Structure 1
């Protein structure tokens, strides 16, 4: 019954408070979106470009990125916004430092980092370039490294007198599976070195991991004026389901939403004026509200003096990414 109470508002979400239609102008703001060539990332890039932001698109496929840029810029009303592609492959930690270096050579500020890209349903025999379990490696270790390397510019942007308070943010993407599929404690310490063989289980663990990392980053970035939170955009049908069993996808069609609907959650998390540094580490749900009752075992994993799974994940991410800084 408790699980049903947790997932019901995520399956049948509240009406969005922020959409592309009522988002205020974003001229002068600089945004990074990972996974910006399809699904939610593409829709977010389209909206922020139209709003006048400078959007850096981190993605693997340059040809696809250039095609997306052409499509957005030719189909959108004239805008002061910019779309800039920089190569980034989150399944290979070696690409992250070059991405950050290229970005820092191009921009002197960073207002929003959307850690949007992710993978699902990847078997254990298809590890990352560094041999990591594909979900933990791509969905957790890579955005952890990216956020760590970008933390100095996020901090200087937040502390610039001209930057509005609570406007600099790091957004992490989670999933409803956190509430019903994640194991007790969310990210068991043993699975960091000996992963489970079930891809769905590992995906759920990585989505809890995104929340844990958002909470851990909030402790350090929050003191410097940067908000770090996670959000479940909703049951959005995107290319992440390309590897999912067709039967399960077909059975879920009735509760799927489109990226145009799901992007409202990201807009709320990124631009909702009611969100402050004090909300660091919290968990948002579709289409723009806080989770009404997160699992107690996951909250305990995050709390100082709790069971320690969140701290253990951060320590593991630190260990596996150190040589790529």
Structure 2
């Protein structure tokens, strides 16, 4: 079944918002944002832009020393809290310590194309960090969220053959770094789809949205397990990619613009690699609401975290 909320369809033209930039961010004074993985790259660029607009930004990072150094370079109101998305105990500790309203949660952190490895809870590292960690964090924080949840995906969710391998989520015996990454990014979009459905059914005003940065030059590509691919990525970062500030624009657009739930933002330029943010298309696999519900059920079982029983209503 196709996504009933998603107004874009495979093959449809991109809906552009020409030249949207950080200058278009409304005043964010009095609003609080949590940005995961905000000590570098896209997360840091996102945090910097939001703080510049008057928001209080919480940098949720694994390494608080690096996080503090990043926060020191951000003019505006910030704080640093420890969060390791590859460890559900850390996720629960972060959420358990949260005791105030939260306007926007930005699920930005991620790992890419790693050698085969496991999280603290035994999950495949990319699926466990990129999807399951954020799945648990979102549901645990959701009673505090008043506006929206933005989750970063990737254009690589469209990679040929990508699907949720319910029979082998860890890709045991057939693991490749690229396949594991693409599966995790598809999971991010399916998570957003099912989260939006549940929020609407609960009568909540909170929206779930997704974004992707196109090709942005960050540290992420430098950790690719394949040496040849890593070299090509770094070459592309230098000569083809936009910078982290440009790559953060779709996230910022999804975080502050008046967009419907389940929207997916990305660069509006050629092949969605760069350019001003726009509402963009997603693959048919990322629009399947039946798979989204099944993934949600499996994620609840794996994390022992579910959708909150009570949320603020409209």
Q: 1:193 deviation in Å?
A: 5.5
Contact kept in structure 2, 1:120 and 1:243, CA below 8 Å: yes
Q: 1:46 deviation in Å?
A: 0.9
TM-score by length of structure 2 reads 0.83
Query: CA distance change for structure 1 residues 6 and 135 in 2, over 3 Å: closer, same or farther?
Result: farther
Q: 1:248 deviation in Å?
A: 2.4
Q: 1:251 deviation in Å?
A: 5.0
The corresponding residue for 1:225 is 205
3-state SS of the aligned residue for 1:189? coil
For 1:315 and 1:53, the matched residues in 2 are separated by 34
Contact kept in structure 2, 1:6 and 1:179, CA below 8 Å: no
Q: 1:9 deviation in Å?
A: 7.0
Q: 1:26 deviation in Å?
A: 0.5
Query: CA distance change for structure 1 residues 237 and 8 in 2, over 3 Å: closer, same or farther?
Result: farther
The alignment status of 1:94 with 2:86, answered yes or no, reads no
The corresponding residue for 1:140 is 131
Contact kept in structure 2, 1:182 and 1:208, CA below 8 Å: no
Task: Select 2:216's aligned residue among 236, 240, 264.
Answer: 236
The corresponding residue for 2:244 is 259
Contact kept in structure 2, 1:174 and 1:208, CA below 8 Å: yes
For 1:317 and 1:149, the matched residues in 2 are separated by 13
Task: Select 1:128's aligned residue among 119, 130, 137.
Answer: 119
For 2:263 and 2:26, the matched residues in 1 are separated by 24
Task: Select 1:283's aligned residue among 251, 264, 270.
Answer: 264
For 1:54 and 1:70, the matched residues in 2 are separated by 14
Contact kept in structure 1, 2:189 and 2:286, CA below 8 Å: no
Q: 1:247 deviation in Å?
A: 2.8
Q: 1:148 deviation in Å?
A: 0.3
1:92-148 alpha-carbon deviations (Å, 9 max, x no partner): 1110111112222xx2x1111000000011122x21111101111000100000000
The corresponding residue for 2:154 is 175
Query: CA distance change for structure 1 residues 6 and 256 in 2, over 3 Å: closer, same or farther?
Result: farther
TM-score by length of structure 1 reads 0.80
**Long gaps (5+) in structure 1:** 74-80, 158-167, 303-307
Q: 1:188 deviation in Å?
A: 2.5
For 1:142 and 1:258, the matched residues in 2 are separated by 27
Query: CA distance change for structure 1 residues 46 and 103 in 2, over 3 Å: closer, same or farther?
Result: same
Task: Select 2:140's aligned residue among 129, 140, 149.
Answer: 149
**Long gaps (5+) in structure 2:** 1-9, 268-275, 309-314
The alignment status of 1:83 with 2:83, answered yes or no, reads no
For 2:52 and 2:241, the matched residues in 1 are separated by 26
Contact kept in structure 1, 2:222 and 2:234, CA below 8 Å: no
Query: CA distance change for structure 1 residues 8 and 177 in 2, over 3 Å: closer, same or farther?
Result: farther
The corresponding residue for 1:322 is 304
Contact kept in structure 2, 1:59 and 1:87, CA below 8 Å: yes
The corresponding residue for 2:104 is 112
Q: 1:310 deviation in Å?
A: 1.7
For 1:42 and 1:49, the matched residues in 2 are separated by 10
Query: CA distance change for structure 1 residues 212 and 315 in 2, over 3 Å: closer, same or farther?
Result: same
Task: Select 1:248's aligned residue among 232, 255, 261.
Answer: 232
Task: Select 1:58's aligned residue among 32, 57, 60.
Answer: 60
Contact kept in structure 2, 1:182 and 1:204, CA below 8 Å: no
